[in-house]
Amino acid sequence: MRKLTKRSTAVIAGTAAVVIGGGAAWATVNGWEIGGSGTAEADTASITPLTATAQINGKIFPGKVTTITTSVNNPNEFKVQLTGTLTPTGAEVIPATPACLSALPNASVLSTTFPGTPEVPAGAQGFSVNSNLTVGNIPQACAGKKIKVTYTFTSVSKA
């Protein structure tokens, strides 16, 4: 019997690997392919509207540019991205002054846009966003009054 060298051993091992691998490949190509099917289901998250309050820095007057801090609550189980402006939808003037109230709400009176695209975490309470606020033409009848503005804003869900 002949003694095996390192080279002979390597050649035999390589040949065996090719034969075994080729047989496995042949079985895969020529075997029966069997498919399957299944189902999946999930409950979707509920959508709860965001709420917010805003605080304007200092007193307002025509032409003033100041900061408004908006505190956003997100009761949803997903984060949201704020996407737009605060759009005034109503106003209250204290003490009531019809000449002042008639100018409010007007989107050009108080205008602001969320800077960038802030994301409010899921379940956040009091998430703070600072924006620049530009005060437009407020009638002189509003001088010395307290103005309470209601507004809307938009957002989209984020993963």
Tokens 């695209």 map to which residue?
117
Q: In terms of residue numbers, what domain contains 66? A: 51-158
User: 33 lies in a domain?
Assistant: no
User: Between 155 and 107, whose confidence is greater?
Assistant: 155
User: 143 lies in a domain?
Assistant: yes
| Residue 51: band (very low, low, confident or very high) from pLDDT cuts 50, 70, 90 | very high
Residue 124: count other Cβ atoms within 10 Å of its Cβ: 18
Residue 48 has pLDDT above 80, yes or no: yes
User: 150 lies in a domain?
Assistant: yes
3-state secondary structure the chain: CCCCCHHHHHHHHHHHHHHHHHHHHHHHHHCCCCCCCCCCCCCCCCCCCCEEEEEECCCCCCCCEEEEEEEEECCCCCEEEECCECEEEEEEEECCCHHHHCCCCCCCCEEEECCCCCEECCCCCCEEEEEEEEECCCCHHHCCCEEEEEEECCEEEEC
Least confident of 37-41, 147-151, 152-156: 147-151
Count: domains in the chain: 1
User: 14 lies in a domain?
Assistant: no
User: 39 lies in a domain?
Assistant: no
pLDDT digits (tens, 9 = 90+) for 77-134: 999 999 988 888 888 889 988 888 887 766 577 788 888 889 999 999 999 999 998 8
| Residue 158: band (very low, low, confident or very high) from pLDDT cuts 50, 70, 90 | very high
User: 37 lies in a domain?
Assistant: no
| Residue 15: band (very low, low, confident or very high) from pLDDT cuts 50, 70, 90 | low
Structure tokens at 107: 């989107």
Strand order in the sheet with 65-73: 51-56, 65-73, 127-135, 110-112
CATH number at residue 119: 2.60.40
User: 125 lies in a domain?
Assistant: yes
User: Between 87 and 25, whose confidence is greater?
Assistant: 87
User: 114 lies in a domain?
Assistant: yes
